[in-house]
Amino acid sequence: MIFNTALVDALMAGDHADPFAVLGMHFEGGALVVRALLPGADQVWVLDAADGATLARLERCGASAVFAGAVAEPSAGPSEGRAAPFPYRLRVDWHGTLHEHEDAYRFPSLFTGDYGGRPYEAMGAHPTRIDGVDGVNFVVWAPNARRVALVGAFNSWDGRRHGMRLHPQRGVWEIFIPQIGPGELYKFEIKTAFGATLLKADPYAFRAQLRPETASVVHALPAVVPAPPERQRANALNSAVSIYEVHLGSWRRADHGRRWLNYRELAEQLVPYVRQMGFSHIELLPVQEHPFDGSWGYQPTGLYAPTSRFGSPEDFRFLVETAHAAGIGVLLDWVPGHFPTDAFALAGFDGTHLYEHADPKEGFHQDWNTLIYNYGRQEVRDFLAANALYWIERYGIDGLRVDAVASMLYRDYSRKEGEWVPNIHGGRENLEAIAFLRRMNELVCSQRPEAITMAEESTSFPNVSRPLEMGGLGFHYKWNMGWMNDTLRYMQEDPVNRKHHHDKISFGIVYAFSENFVLPLSHDEVVHGKGSILARMPGDHWQRFANLRAYYGFMWGHPGKKLLFMGCEFAQAREWDADASLDWHLLDDPAHAGVQRLVRDLNNVLRAYPALHQVDFEQRGFEWISHEDRENSVLSFVRRADDGSCVLVICNFTPVCRPGYRIGVPAAGRYRELINTDQLQYGGSGVGNGVLATDPSGMHGRAQSLALTLPPLATLMLVLEN
């Protein structure tokens, strides 16, 4: 029946669950019937798409905005001539203005449900062409919705205009909108099973509006980035890895601090600086779209969209390409552990707890007032695991630092007794999250073996950075939070008391080879009242800088890859403020400039001497000379490379110069200082050794030894000259 009051009322109320069964062209009662819902239209005609001929004028259905009419002579069946559906266009009189357009309801479905581990290739908004007509195909997962419609400026944000087609077997809704393209704003209007209407951004959007606006933006799926072998070599366990962690909004600001640098300006300024400083990688605090600046990106709402704060997706890709051209890898902080409760995003997406757990004991993160993903749901696992691959494949990202892994591994994380739900075995481990992390790492390793993943994991959960086939989680690296906490506590002690806390500085070696560790001095150590790293060093002005330099020397000599948060490389004096630029003016002070020069030289030495990086994760790459001189707060050890070459590291953590301090050495010969953190050029007192020859005085169980002058509060690195 062409006209049906109940049907028209349902369409006008936006309450018809299957508009594709009604709107568009259908064979009914022996004729082809066209229906169109066009609020605001005065008249509507059907045109033949082949030649533009007018085929019919549609009649308004009562006082509604539904227009309907037959466009072909009655026929015995749909296979005879023009009785079969054919391409057509609509001419619409909008209050005296005529406009011709394609009807979204004449186009077939493109969704096959087969996306081979890359759902982003089908889900979301994809510019495409059907039957010679350009447009955008939209797909969204909302299995419990009563109805889903696409809204945007192209339909005056009217949810009645473009109700979507349901694929019930997958719980997804789809529609092709002709004659629109990249740059269009859109959302999904979802009517829940309970009758409420929600307006949601696209979880798979490749671009999003700048906050406080929340619409998704049509953008083409970025092309796949080739995987050059040199990137895999740079990420390898035996490479020199020194990471510069950056918050893009506060590294440096333009116009006297009034605006952010954009991605292209960062490519021009940040990348050359990182290269000059000798870092191998830049790690970016989350760049996925997020609504609240104060979250620093750790509460993302658009996992597939680079934040529009700093430009377009193409601009972000330019930043990555510029870094690669300079020989610098790019790592992203990635947040699969939780998401914010903002109404426009994932929370209660289709009126049910779709992405999150329904039980707050499982689905609500008490520390951050956020929601926890339901890792037991296949579509959620696919959404997240594919996102990890997306950034690597489509932007050439070299690796992901996975945030808050500990909060994912344990069901009782930050919860009291009675506030959490045990797993099926009655234990505290989150078996579903563990399976997800293993699957994510497997996907990344199998599809992009040049890339790496790093876990920010603060507990002693075993085998985080061990391969899947060994029962591990499959991460390449794990942040060494224990080392960071112990050594910072040690450095905060007055040097006169350090002999009572000597184990804190040496204890890291006890477990240094149980995982593939990164030594992190990250943003978390310079916020929330902790002050800067420099501010935590004891003593007067000179001693604070000397302590910091000695600490950095120890860190670069210690087994493990290195990570330093921006500003720490020049001894930022105040706590990090995400709303302001770093204090670059401090470099006018020789003390700050000296620390910056030291970090640059440490990075250059790290890269130049394999003994300092090649065997970071095996006992054979490290040997104590002595960790027992707690009375003088002195440590000494050897770092070794595969070819047997070595670097000696000696640390004096008291402000006392120690002439004639003897240490045993691996071999006789002349040893030259590579690094002396007390050099004048670094702001030190200038006490040093230059080149020293061994003598056959036994020490520390070795036949040969050196008599050194240990500078006050300093670290030395020495190498045997050939």
Q: Which residues are catalytic?
A: 403, 456
Strands 24-28 and 31-37: antiparallel
The residue ranges of DSSP E strands in 10-123, in sequence order, are: 24-28, 31-37, 43-48, 54-60, 66-70, 88-94, 97-102
Q: Which residue has the tokens 């889900």?
A: 123
The secondary structure element, H or E, covering residue 519 is strand 517-521
Structure tokens at 344: 């426009």
Distances in Å between the Cα of 670 and the Cα atoms of 146, 700, 721 are 80, 18, 6
Query: What is the Cα–Cα distance from 162 to 157, expressed in whole angstroms?
Result: 10
User: Dihedral sign, CA of 185, 191, 192, 196?
Assistant: positive
* Nearest in space to 479 (alpha carbons), one of 501, 451, 452: 452
Helices and strands: H and E segment counts in the chain: 13, 37
- Which residues, other chains included, contact 589 with Cβ-Cβ below 8 Å and sequence gap of 6+? none
Whether 298 contacts 335, CB under 8 Å: yes
End-to-end Cα distance, the chain: 96
- DSSP string of 40-52, one letter each residue: T-SEEEEEETTT-
Query: What is the Cα–Cα distance from 398 to 296, expressed in whole angstroms?
Result: 21
User: Dihedral sign, CA of 71, 75, 77, 78?
Assistant: negative
Whether 337 contacts 403, CB under 8 Å: yes
In the sheet that holds 133-141, the strands lie side by side as: 124-130, 133-141, 172-178, 165-167
Query: What is the Cα–Cα distance from 273 to 271, expressed in whole angstroms?
Result: 5
Whether 355 contacts 371, CB under 8 Å: yes
Query: What is the Cα–Cα distance from 549 to 677, expressed in whole angstroms?
Result: 6
Whether 209 contacts 127, CB under 8 Å: no
- Which residues, other chains included, contact 273 with Cβ-Cβ below 8 Å and sequence gap of 6+? none
- Give strand pairing partners of 722: none
Query: What is the Cα–Cα distance from 675 to 690, expressed in whole angstroms?
Result: 10
Query: What is the Cα–Cα distance from 491 to 487, expressed in whole angstroms?
Result: 6
- Give strand pairing partners of 564: 244, 521
The burial class, CB within 10 Å (0-12 / 13-18 / 19+), for 93 is middle
